[in-house]
Amino acid sequence: MTQAVKNVGIILKPRAVHDFLTILPNLTEWLKRRKVEVFFPVEETERLHKIYQTTKLKFNIIPKVDMHTQCDLLITLGGDGTLIGVARTSKKASPPIFGINMGNLGFITEFSKHEFHDDLAQVLKGKYTIHNVPLYKAEIIENEKTVRSGYFINDAVISKSGISRMFTVALETEDENIYNLAGDGLIVSSPIGSTAYSLAAGGPIVHPRVKGIILNPICPHALTHRPLVLPENETIYIKLPKGESELFLTLDGQEAITVLKNQRVKISKPSRKHVSLIINENKEYFRTLKDKFRHGRR
């Protein structure tokens, strides 16, 4: 990229105040010295007054939905969940996202809160590389019509609410039955989400540049129901057999949708729906696996 950044939107980790008392004023002042306009969602006005401890805020306050159209760059301050929350609402013309991790180095948030200024300075000059991460679409189908839909980056999870108990669903592609699954649930995971819930449930680690989608049963009743990796362009249908009551579809752990017994779930990857994440050139994928999971260490 070569276009300089003039307008920057900042998205904060939900509810936190103390974590931002130092880093946020320093960051906004740093941006203003570089003649960059700073934008915050109007929904954050009350929290910003607590952080800046003033009744007069010296930056732009706009509706959150307009952050995608009025900014050249979005900065997230939080963790992977904060970045995912922004990415799931991205539009076709949304700006790239610069993720700053407020805790330990994350998988999707590429930059540490302790050392991001040099990288951000280069980004403001238009010198950066992006990774286009696909968004997957989940639709609730009833009588062959979509009654509700949403997007996910990491995973879509089918489960029961309340007390954990076994249930049955049928998994199908456009052309054939995959298998009928009896168990505690099902995780449909993207490659970038393979190190999240799916990994905890015994799924494989899949490199984020692999073009595939993972079906991972949660505590399957039959030992023959193992995780599967399918092509990313495969459309997957999840149906409730007769006798099953409602289930729940959870997208990235942030949105829950009730699935009734006369409905089915369709999961697909739209050809042009993605989010652009700015890459940390100094961050290595397998090094991150070693640091977070001690993966591959003896």
Please give the positions annotated as active site.
80
DSSP state of 66: G
Contacts of 175 (CB under 8 A, 6+ apart): none
Query: Would the CA dihedral through 244, 245, 249, 250 be positive or negative?
Result: negative
Q: Where are the beta strands (DSSP E) in the chain?
A: 7-12, 37-41, 60-62, 73-78, 97-101, 111-112, 130-134, 136-142, 145-152, 155-159, 167-172, 177-183, 185-189, 212-218, 228-231, 236-239, 247-251, 255-259, 264-268, 274-278
- Residue 136 near residue 191, CB atoms below 8 Å: no
| Number of alpha helices (DSSP H) and beta strands (DSSP E) in the chain | 7, 20
HSE of 160, CA atoms in CB hemisphere, 13 A: 15
**Residue 252, phi then psi, degrees to nearest 5:** 55, 25
Q: Determine the Cα–Cα distance for residues 39 and 67; give it in Å rounded to an integer.
A: 8
DSSP string, 220-238: -SSTT---EEEETT--EEE
Alpha carbon separation from 173 to 70, 78, 103, 244, 282 (Å, rounded): 40, 37, 40, 21, 40
